[in-house]
Chain A
Amino acid sequence: MTRSKLWQLQHRYAPQLFISPFVILLAIFLLYPLTKSVVLSAYSTAGGPRNQKFIGLDNYRFLLHDRLFWGATLNTVFYAVGLISLQIPISLALALLLNSPLLRFRSVFRFIFFSTYLVGGVVGAIIFSMLLDARHGLVNNTLSFLLRRTIEIDWLGQPNLAMISILIAALWLSIGYGMIYLLAGLQAIDPELYDAANMDGAGPWHRFIHITLPELRGVLGFLIVVGTIGAFQLFELPYVLFRQSTGPASRGLTVVMYLFLTGFQAGDLGYAAAIGWMLVLLIFAVSLIQIRVLRLHKTR
């Protein structure tokens, strides 16, 4: 083969050649397992992948009456609502404060708030399992000091406090991340909008409602939708916080934790797959509603 022919070949087939490693991996390790998860959900595989028995839609039928599954769903939804409705306002408040031109050491503060983003769910859970200790934890110690009496709240042992404890740790992990996005959004707002409002004599509250919030709609929508999807996938935070258990009265059980326990401790991959598809349905439904209500399909 001549040199010029080789040159033409590399030019012609370059795109296919360059993208093929990605496409091959995508097919084997994403599309195939995805299809396999659909098929598996129609099988009972109790006893590992070796003993498979076709049962049609029985897994899904069983799920509809599975109290643990609905308990897990309830816990997960409670967490998602709690996280988003607390994280977004706090992150926004911090971003507004950090955006003030009067603030010195902005980059130091920004780093401090953002630093928790580097901490993973497992490490966050380990730190908070110590901080939330009933007798000696820093949280109860601080409360005791502030209220001037002995506080021994059993954060991790009381069923009603289980999700609150998870939320405390989750907020610590996620507020800085939200703040960084919102700060970037604030800095992208055209200053002339504020000048015009000042000219019209608009007060700070008026400017916040009529300029800042509408201009942040894209970033806020992104944080709400993506944050909710992430919240529905909650797993390692409660799993490690409650020492690899489902928490007091199973109040720390989440949908993904139930999938994991069913598939990899009870060994029924089929039922685990069915739980996975219920999670997909749940996330799709919630995302669609959010996108409609927030009118995100009309931005940009």
Chain B
Amino acid sequence: MTPTSEFTSNRSSGRSIAVVIFLHVIVAAAALVCFVPFIWLLCAVFKRGDDLFTSVLLPPDLHKLTLSNFHDLFNHESFGWWMINSIFLSSAITVLVVTLSSLGGFVLAKYEFRGRGVLMLIMLFTMMIPSQVIIPGMYELIWKLGWVNSYAALLFPGAASVFGVFLFRQAMAGVPDELLHAARVDGCSEFRLWWDIALPVVRPMIGAFTLLSFIGNWNSFLWPQIVLQDDAKYTLPIGLANLISQPGSTAGYGPLMAGTLLSLIPITVLFFFLQRDFIAGLSSGALKG
């Protein structure tokens, strides 16, 4: 029984149909408001420069639609590179951070060793610090290492996630000790305990954290904007943010709209593959801070 179950029981059916229709109208209207920016963007990418603003969605004369925005985007801007850079960096950082976090979480959940308590305390402490305060110190370090304008400045700091280790520690606690013990007796190495026994058990968490990490890195702006300096090394958010600040560099806003739309595609595809794990992770409350 749920909060609204009264409507289906002893009330007149006429009233309950009205309620159902009203509910759907309200929800559909809210969904439309939420989705309209995407529809507007989808229309905008096919419009010529002067039509972008003169017609709200599509121009009345559909022959005026064009693919030239995409053409300009790839020919006059380094958009292809930004896309490749974003895909490479987000994937590489995600693979690294999922691997290291699941290893760390496995150890913290299933082993006793010296310094474990201190490590957990330090980790808890760093969770409370907003990442921006680290940036001045981090920039000095990266500058000393000679990593300014290199991807190492993004890959190495991105590979360690305290939040990720805590997530996996929580998930790994659910791996039965008897299972690990039995595998050990059968001659399984400690590394294979992690790879063959523990990882399959926490598979939904791998999916959820992969999505979370990829979205975070895909949209990351502040730190990449500070360390990356060459146009050809930019990621999508930096390239697009620069495009909007210098309109008229190409054919107005059209190419920018095309780039914005294209930048949403890879992340949407990944979401469709992993959304089940992600929603399950949310529902179990595991992804709460």
Q: Which residues of B contact A (CB under 8 A)?
A: 1-8, 16, 19-20, 23-24, 26-28, 30-31, 34-38, 40-41, 44, 53-54, 56, 100-101, 103-104, 106-108, 111-113, 119, 122-123, 126, 128-141, 143-144, 156-157, 159-160, 162, 165, 184, 189-191, 194, 215, 218-222, 226, 237, 240-242, 244-245, 253, 256-257, 260, 263-264, 267-268, 271, 275, 279, 282-283, 285, 288-289
Interface residues on A, range: 35 or more
The answer on a CB contact under 8 Å between B267 and A118 is yes
The answer on a CB contact under 8 Å between B137 and A191 is no
Question: Which 3 pairs from chain A and chain B are nearest by CB?
Answer: A120-B219, A36-B137, A136-B53
Residue interface mask A233-252, B partner, CB < 8 A = 1: 10110011001100000000
The answer on a CB contact under 8 Å between B264 and A118 is yes
Q: Does A213 contact B (CB under 8 A)?
A: no
The answer on a CB contact under 8 Å between A240 and B136 is no
Closest to B287 in A: A181
The answer on a CB contact under 8 Å between B107 and A269 is no
The answer on a CB contact under 8 Å between A180 and B279 is yes
Q: How far is the CA of A31 from the CA of B125 in the complex (A)?
A: 10
Q: A112-B35, A269-B139 are in contact. Are A204 and B3 (CB under 8 A)?
A: yes
From A64-72, A95-103, A146-154, A159-167, the one touching the partner chain is: A95-103
Q: Does A51 contact B (CB under 8 A)?
A: no
The answer on a CB contact under 8 Å between B100 and A25 is yes
Apart from A28-B141, A40-B137, A277-B133: 7 A-B pairs, beta carbons within 8 A:
A29-B141, A94-B27, A104-B24, A127-B37, A236-B221, A236-B241, A239-B241
Q: A35-B137, A198-B1 are in contact. Are A122 and B240 (CB under 8 A)?
A: yes
Q: Which residues of A contact B (CB under 8 A)?
A: 7, 10-11, 14-16, 18-19, 21-23, 25-26, 28-41, 49, 94, 96-104, 109, 111-113, 115-123, 125-131, 133, 135-136, 138, 141, 172, 175-176, 180-181, 184, 187-188, 191, 194-195, 198, 204, 207-208, 212, 219, 222, 226, 229, 232-233, 235-236, 239-240, 243-244, 256, 259-260, 263-264, 269-270, 272-273, 276-277, 279-280, 283-284
